[in-house]
Amino acid sequence: MPLDVRNLTISLTSGEKMVDNISFSIAKGEMLSIVGSSGAGKTTVCRTVMGLLDTNYIIQGRVDYSGENLLALAKGRLQKIYGKEVCYILQNPMTAFNPSVRIGKQLEKTYLKHNDDISKTEIFTQVEPILRRLGMEDTKRIWKSYPFALSGGMLQRVMIAAALMNSPRLLIADEVTTAIDACNRMGLMKELRKLCDEGMSVLFVTHDLRSAANSNQILIMNHGKMVEYGSTQKIMESPKEDYTKYLLGACRLERRERA
């Protein structure tokens, strides 16, 4: 099992709970979506899996990646896992790039961190198909661009490419579709689905239940708690909890207002 989270509770040192007894698992080749409104605790769960919480947080429970508890692993082992086997795509692409370094240079650096020393031309040859797969055609221009010259949606896709070029086994995608227009969003979701079919596992985080339609399972969160957890079909077609029904209703209303 690539990821198995058991009884995860995260509190501040003041005692306030951000996440309250969450459990879920993601099998190889599966996508699980965590869905919930702003402040539900979704990003806190992702940051915990990625070992990004500082000492202001108290973490209880287990986060097993391929049978190893990430909360208790030695730093050296974690350095081998994060960025290579387990990759995290952040909510805000603008903060992920160094504004004064060209995109290609940044991608080369990321690639070389986890792979053998190969030439810049070879790195471009390896990464270009990934950029194309994510809907970017003008790859040479993107490679030479500074971050400010690309749109938010393009930067978001470059960030996804940066994660995918290391062929991770588990991808954590936190609100990655927010900056992308509807057409490219659908394309991206289809690509993530294909990557799962090729064996990658995905933890997908969104506030929009519609974006979770391509996942195998959905976990609904509200105020740090698990509201409902089950197969995507079950959650979409016969939700049990009022909050899930509310989220589904909000999606339908938005669709009707757009029509």
Ligand X SMILES: Nc1ncnc2c1ncn2[C@@H]1O[C@H](COP(=O)(O)OP(=O)(O)OP(=O)(O)O)[C@@H](O)[C@H]1O
Give 137's DSSP letter: -
Kindly state whether residue 207 participates in binding ligand X, applying the rule CB under 6 A: yes
- Min separation Cβ 21 and ligand X, Å: 15
18 vs 154, which CB is nearer to ligand X? 18
Minimum distance, C-beta of residue 138 to ligand X, in the bound complex (Å)? 31
Indicate the residue among 20 and 191 with the shorter CB distance to ligand X: 20
Cα distances (Å, whole numbers) of residue 2 to 31, 64, 88:
11, 8, 14
Q: Which is nearer to ligand X, 40 or 127 (CB)?
A: 40
The answer to whether residues 36 and 241 touch, using CB atoms and an 8 Å cutoff, is no
| Tokens standing for residue 146 | 């500074």
Residues, the chain, total? 259
Q: Does 165 bind ligand X (CB under 6 A)?
A: no
* Contact positions with ligand X (CB under 6 A) in 119-158: none
Distance CA 45, CA 8 (A): 8
Give the end-to-end CA distance of the chain in Å, rounded to a whole number.
42
Q: Which of 144, 219, 157 is nearest to 191 (CA)?
A: 157
- Residue 56 or 95 with smaller CB distance to ligand X: 56
Q: To the nearest whole angstrom, how small is the minimum distance from the Cβ of residue 140 to ligand X?
A: 35
* Residues in CB range of 65: below 8 A, 6 or more apart: 2, 3, 49, 81, 85, 86, 170
CB 199 → ligand X: shortest distance, Å?
A: 27
Token pair in block for residue 252: 């339908």
In DSSP terms, 62 is beta-bridged to 6
Q: Are 142 and 103 in contact (CB under 8 A)?
A: yes
Q: Which is nearer to ligand X, 39 or 187 (CB)?
A: 39
CB 28 within 8 A of CB 7: no
Please count the residues of this chain forming the interface with ligand X, following the rule CB under 6 A. Answer: 12
Give the shortest CB-100-to-ligand X separation in angstroms: 28
As measured in angstroms, the least distance from the Cβ of 204 to ligand X is: 13
Within 16-75, which residues bind ligand X (CB under 6 A)? 18, 36, 38-44, 56
The smaller minimum CB distance to ligand X, of residues 91 and 139, is found at 91
Q: Is 95 in the site for ligand X (CB under 6 A)?
A: no
- Which residues are near ligand X by CB under 6 A? 12, 18, 36, 38-44, 56, 207
